A = this chain, B = another copy of it.
C-alpha cells in the first residue's frame, strides 16, 4: 500500500519562482492561449505569457503535485496576462497557492456561475476548494510568481473553461487601474 518512493529535495528561488534541477519547464505563449482573450490579434504569437515549473510525482491520490507559475507582466488588448485556468478533473480535489512575488488576482468560479476574487502577493496563502475553477492574473508591473500544491490525482479539465470562459475578466480601466468585469458571454 505504501508507494516505493524516496525522499527528495528541489530548490525553489523564492524571488523569481524558478525551480532548479530536473523540474519540468513549460512555456505558455500567446498562441497557446488563442481563444482565451477577447482579442489577441495585436499580440506577437511567440510572446511568453507564463512559465510553469513542475515537480511531477505519480498521479496518485496520496501524492502531492508541486509547481511554481511565473506570469510575465503585460496585457493582451486591455486584458492582463493570465493563465488558462481549469477545473480539476476530479472535481472535489483542492489546491493551495503560496504567493512569492508580484501583484496578482486569483479568479475562482464554480460551474453554476459563482465567482470569487482573491489576492496573490508575497506570502498570500490561497485555498482553492474542490469545485472551483482557478485562474491567476498578473495585474502588476513585475512577474507574478506563486508556489502551488494540489492533490496528486486531481487532474486538469481545461475544456470546460475553454468552452465557457470565466464569469469575469480582468481588464485595465481607462485610469490604468485593474477592473474585474462581468463577462457577458459567460453562461448562466
Please report A residues at the B interface, Cβ cutoff 8 Å.
1-3, 5-14, 19, 55, 57, 61-64, 66, 90-96, 98, 100, 106, 108, 116, 118-119, 122-132, 147, 149-152
Contact = CB atoms under 8 A, between A and B. Distances in A.
Contact of A151 (B11, B92, B122, B151): B151
A3 B147 CA distance: 24
Contacts of A10: 124-125, 127
A125 B19 contact: yes
Nearest to A61: B61
A131 B14 contact: no
Count this chain's copies in the assembly.
2
Among A19, A98, A118, A131, find the residue whose CB has the most chain B CB atoms closer than 10 A: A98
A124 to B, nearest CB: 6
Nearest to A95: B64
B98 A12 contact: yes
Contact of A130 (B3, B11, B129): B3
Nearest to A149: B149
Contacts of A152: 94
B5 A130 contact: yes
A125 B6 contact: no
A92 B147 CA distance: 23
Nearest to A55: B125
9 contacts: A6-B129, A9-B106, A10-B124, A11-B125, A14-B100, A64-B150, A64-B151, A66-B125, A96-B149
A12 to B, nearest CB: 5
Give 9 closest A-B pairs by Cβ, nearest first. A5-B129, A2-B131, A62-B92, A10-B125, A149-B149, A12-B123, A9-B118, A2-B130, A14-B123
Nearest to A2: B131
A78 to B, nearest CB: 25
